[in-house]
Structure 1
C-alpha cells in the first residue's frame, strides 16, 4: 500500500478540497450543526477508509440522506435523539454485512450505473454554476432537484443567467473562478506532462493557494473583494473547551422509541443502497479494475456510522463525487482516503481561519472538472450506439437524478431496465420455423428457450392461437431446463383445442418423441429432475 504513496498523497489533497465544502454544505442542508458534517467526513476517511476493501472509494456524509436527516431531527425531537438512530442504523448495516446482503449491488444494470455517474456529473456542474459566479450565498450541498431554500436546480440557474446579463454578479468571485479553471486545465492538459513536480503537486492545490492569495490581496478593493458568504465557513473554536463543545452525544434514553427504530432502519437501508451503487460505479471507473468486497464494505460503513453517531456526526456512505475525484487525481490505494480524513481533522483543529479564506468559486471550478469527467458528451453517443436496451434505462436514470434526486433516478432507471428485460423475455421465449406443406398439412417447428417462465405466457399463447387448422406442430423442448407450470397449463389447454382444429402435435424431449400427448401436465411430471 505504501508503494503508491507518491500517487495517494496528491490525490488525498484534491479529495480534501472537494470534501471540505461538501461536508459543510450537507450539514447545512440536513439542519444539523456544521461541525457534524466535518465529523462524518473525518470518520468516513479514517475509519471507513481503513476498514473498507475498496482501494479508491471515499466515504463521508451523503447528500442523498440530507432530506431524511432534516425530517428525522424534527420528528425525533432534537439532534441528540437523532444520533441514536445513526448508531442503530450502523449496527443494522453491520448485520447486513454479516448476512451477506452486499450482493444486492450486483443486480443493478450497467446502463443504470453509467446513468448514475453521468447524472451526478451533470448535477455537479449545474449546482456549481451559481457558486462559480459568486451568486449563491447558501451552499446547501444538496444534490436533489428541489433545494431546502425553496429554489430548485434550474431556478438557481436562471437567477445566475439573469445576474450575468444584468451585470449583478460578484466580479471578484467570478475572476478568481476563471483563473482557477485556467490553472486546472493548464495543469491537467499541459504541465502534468512536463515533469514529476507537476505530477506530485496537483492543480487543485495550486488553484486553492492562488484563491487564498487573491482573497488576501483584494480585501481592500471594493470591486474585487469577496464577501464572507462566498468563502468556506468552518466553525472556529475560541479555545480547546469550545472545540470539545462542538461534539454532540446520543441520548440513549429514547432507544425504545418506535420512531427512532424506523429512522434507524431507513438510514441503514438508504445508506447501504447508496453505498453499494457507489461501489459498483467506482469499480467501473477504476483504471485498475479492482473489485470491492461488498459485504466488507457494509461492515466498514456500519462501523463508521456507529462511531460517527457516537460523537455527533452525520450518517456516512461511500460518495461518488469524492471517489471519482480520487480516481481522476491518480489515487491508487486506500491511503488516499485515509490521508484525506487526517487532513480534514488536522486542518479543522489547527488552521480553521486559513480554510475560511478559500473562495467557494475556486472549489466550484475544481468540481466543474470532476463533473465534466463524469458526464462527457461522448458517453451519450456511446450509449446510443449500444442500442435502445442500454440507452433508454441510461437516459431515464440521468433525467431522474437531474429532475428529482439520486435514489429516485436510480429507481426509475432500474424499473425501466426491468421492463426492457420483460420485453426481451417476451420476445425470446421460443423460436418458430414454418416449413412447406407436408402430406397436405403445414409443418411448424417451435423450439422453446432454455428457461421459460410466466413472463413468456403472452408470447407463447399468441403463437399457439395463431397456428392455423390442419397443421403439423413439432414442439422441441430438448434445450429447456426450466418450464414454468403456467406454460405447461397453456400447452395442456392447447392440446385439447388442437384436436378440434385438426392439429397434430409431435413433442420432442430428452426422453424421445411423443405423438399427440393427451396431457402435458402428466408428461412433464415424469421428466427427470435433472432436466
Structure 2
C-alpha cells in the first residue's frame, strides 16, 4: 500500500468513526440498553465482520432499522439474556443461509415490500424517539417535558437538516459529519446551562458509560445469553427468525446500493457476506451486543471520504474501541436528546415524504403493496407485515398481469385482439368481456404469436364467437387454429 492510499484510508476511517459513534450510542439508548452495548456492537461490526466480509468498503454495526424489533423483542421476552440467545440463533441462521447460498434470493423480494419495510421502521423510530427527545415522563408527549431537552433536540434537528442540504454544495459540510456537530451542539448547550441554569442542566438526561479502569471492570460490562431457558421459549425462535430475516435483507440491500457507489472487482458475494454477518451476530449475542448489519449510510460515507481498502473500516472499529475504553467521561457529556434527534432524523430519511410520492407515481400496483407493508409492520408486527406486503404485491401483480394478458384495439371498423401470453381458464372472463365489445359488420384480427398455449375454455369461447361471426357479418382474420380443442 502506498502512502497516498494509507492517508486516504486514515481520513475515511476517522470520518466514518465520527458518524458511527453517535449512531451506535443512540441506537443502544433507543433499545433501552446501556450505551456500552452500542460501542461493543460497533467494535464487532468494525473489526470482526470487516475481516470476514468480501466487501472492501461496507461498514457494519448496529442499525437503526432494527431498533423497533429489539425493543419489541425485549418486551416479549422480558430479559436481555433471552434476546442474546435469539441473536445467536439469528447469526446461526444467517451462517446457514450463506452456506446454502440463499443470498441470491434477495432479488425475489419485491421492491415495494422492501421500501415499505424501511418506511415502517422510520415511522416507528420517530414515534419511539420523540418522547426521548422531549425528555417526557412517559411514553406519550402529553406528559411533562423538559424545555432544555426540547431546545437541544430541535437545535440538533435543525443542524442535521441544514447539513444534509448543504453538503452537496459545500466540501466542508460533506467532510464534517452532521451527526458529530449535533452531538457537539448538545454538549455545548449542557456546558452553558451548567454555568447559567444549573438546576435545569441537572435535569437533562445524558449518557452513562461505565468507567473501565481494569480488566475486571471491563469483564463486568459483558452480558451472556441464557441458552438454558431459551430453547423452550417459542418467542426466542420467532425473534431469532425475524432478526435473521430483517438483518440479512438490510445487509444485502446495502450491498446492492454500494454497487452503485463504487466498482468492486470481483463483486462481493452475497453468500459470503451472509457468512460474515452471521459470525458477527453470533459473537455479538455471546458477548452482550445487539444485531449487526451492513449499514449503507456509513458505507456511503466511507466511499465518499475516499476509502481505498478495508483499512478504513478497521480503523473506525479501533477508534470505537479506544473511545469506549479511554474517553468515557467525555462521552458522558452527551445529552440523550441529541442522540434521540439523530435517530428521529434517521427515521425521517427512511420514511421521507418523497418516498411515498415516488411509490405513488409508480402506480397502484406498487403503491398498494408498499402501503400494506408499512401499515402491516406498524400495526401487526414485522414478519406478519412483510408477509402481508408480499401477498398484496402478488395479488396486485396478478391482477395487472391478468388485465394485460389480452388487449383490444380499434381502428375504424377493424378490431385487433392481442394475446400477450399463454391463456388459461382464468383469462376466459376477460376474453368474453372484450369480444362482447365488438359490434356487427366488423373485421376482427387476432394476434396470437405470443400465446403458445390456449386451454380448452379459451378455445371454446373463440369457437362460439366464430360460429356467430357469419350471422353478425363479422370477418375473422388470423384466427387461431381451434382443432383438438
Q: Secondary structure in 2 aligned to 1:354?
A: helix
Please name the residue that 1:449 is paired with. Answer: 420
Structure 1, 408-417 or 359-368: larger mean CA deviation:
408-417
* Aligned partner of residue 431 in structure 1, secondary structure: strand
Does the alignment pair 1:491 with 2:458?
A: yes
Q: Are residues 400 and 52 of structure 1, via their aligned partners in 2, closer, same or farther at CA, if it must alter by over 3 Å?
A: farther
Check 1:27–1:194 CA distance in 2 against 1; reply closer, same or farther (3 A cut).
Answer: closer
Provide the aligned C-alpha RMSD in A: 4.3
Partner of 2:297: 324
1:56-104 per-position Cα deviation (integer Å, ceiling 9, x unaligned): 4533262253256436745xxx655664553343222212112221233
Q: Does 1:354 align with 2:330?
A: yes
- CA deviations on 1:231-264 (whole Å, 9 max, x unpaired) are 1233445742132133234566679x4657x844
Instruction: Indicate if the aligned counterparts of 1:16 and 1:340 stay in contact, CA closer than 8 A.
Output: no
Q: Say which SS state the counterpart of residue 246 (structure 1) adopts.
A: coil
Secondary structure (helix, strand or coil) at the match of 2:62 reads strand
2:61 maps to what in 1?
59
Hey, what does 1:12 align to over in structure 2? 17
1:35-184 matches, within 5 Å, as: 36=37, 38-53=39-54, 55-60=57-62, 62-66=66-70, 69-70=73-74, 73=77, 83-135=84-136, 151=139, 156-157=140-141, 159=142, 168-184=144-160
| 1:39 match: secondary structure | helix
Distance 2:76 2:357 in 1: 42
User: How far apart, in 1, do the equivalents of 2:306 and 2:388 lie?
Assistant: 33
The equivalent residue for 2:484 is 519
Deviations 1:286-316 (A, max 9, x none): 7616676432222122111222233233343
What TM-score do the two structures reach when normalised by structure 1?
0.71
Aligned pair partner of 2:271 in 278, 292, 295: 295
Aligned match of 1:272: 245
How big is each residue's C-alpha offset from its partner over 1:193-217, in whole Å with a ceiling of 9 and x where there is no partner? Answer: 6665x65443432432343343344
Separation in structure 1 between the aligned mates of residue 431 and residue 262 of structure 2, nearest angstrom: 42
1:17 positional shift: 0.6
Work out whether 1:234 is the aligned partner of 2:209: yes
- 1:351 CA displacement: 2.5
- Which of 18, 24, 27 aligns to 1:22? It is 27
1:375-386 superposed matches below 5 A: 375-386=351-362
Mapping for residues 243-262 of structure 1, pairs under 5 Å = 243-250=218-225, 257=231, 259=233
The SS at the match of 2:334 is: coil
- Corresponding position of 2:186: 211
TM (normalized to structure 2)? 0.77
Measured in 2, the distance between the counterparts of 1:225 and 1:218 equals 5
Compute the displacement of 1:119 (Å). Answer: 4.2
With over 3 angstroms needed to count, the CA separation of the structure-2 counterparts of 1:193 and 1:136, relative to structure 1, is: farther
Q: Give the superposition deviation at 1:108.
A: 3.0
Distance 2:163 2:464 in 1: 76
Is the 8 Å Cα contact of residues 232 and 355 (structure 1) preserved in structure 2? yes
Cα deviation code 1:164-203 (max 9, x no counterpart): xxxx53232233334444554565556996665x654434
Q: CA deviation at 1:429?
A: 0.9
Whole-angstrom distance in 2 between the partners of 1:218 and 1:500:
91
Q: Any conservation in 1 of the 2:43–2:318 contact (CA below 8 Å)? A: yes
SS in 1 for 2:201: coil
- Displacement of 1:467 after TM fit? 7.7
In the TM superposition, what whole-angstrom CA distance separates every residue of 1:128-165 from its partner, at most 9, and x where no partner exists? 4333333267xxxxxxxxxxxxx4xxxx24x2xxx6xx
Structure 2 residues without counterparts, runs of 5 or longer = none
SS of 1:425's partner is: helix
CA distance in 2, matches of 1:18, 1:410: 26
**Cα 1:431/1:190, change in 2 over 3 Å:** closer
Superposition map of 1:338-377 within 5 A: 338-377=314-353
Pick closer, same or farther for the CA change 1:226–1:402 going to 2, 3 Å: farther
Contact 2:60 2:292 in 1 (8 A): no
- Give, in angstroms, the shift of residue 276 of structure 1: 1.5
Other-structure match for 1:146: none
- CA contact 1:45–1:341 (8 Å) conserved in 2: yes
1:144 equivalent in structure 2: none
Contact 1:23/1:40, CA 8 A, preserved across alignment: no
- Partners of 2:428 and 2:458 within 8 A in 1: no
Describe the superposition over 1:501-527 as per-residue Cα deviations: whole angstroms up to 9, x where unpaired: 57899896xxxx875x3423xxxxxxx
Whether the aligned pair in 1 keeps the contact of 2:409 and 2:415 (CA below 8 Å) is yes
Three-state SS of the structure 2 residue aligned to 1:218 is helix
1:305 and 2:306 correspond: no
Is 1:426 aligned with 2:396?
no
Structure 1 residue 427: Cα displacement: 0.6
Indicate conservation of the 8 Å contact 2:415/2:443, yes or no: yes
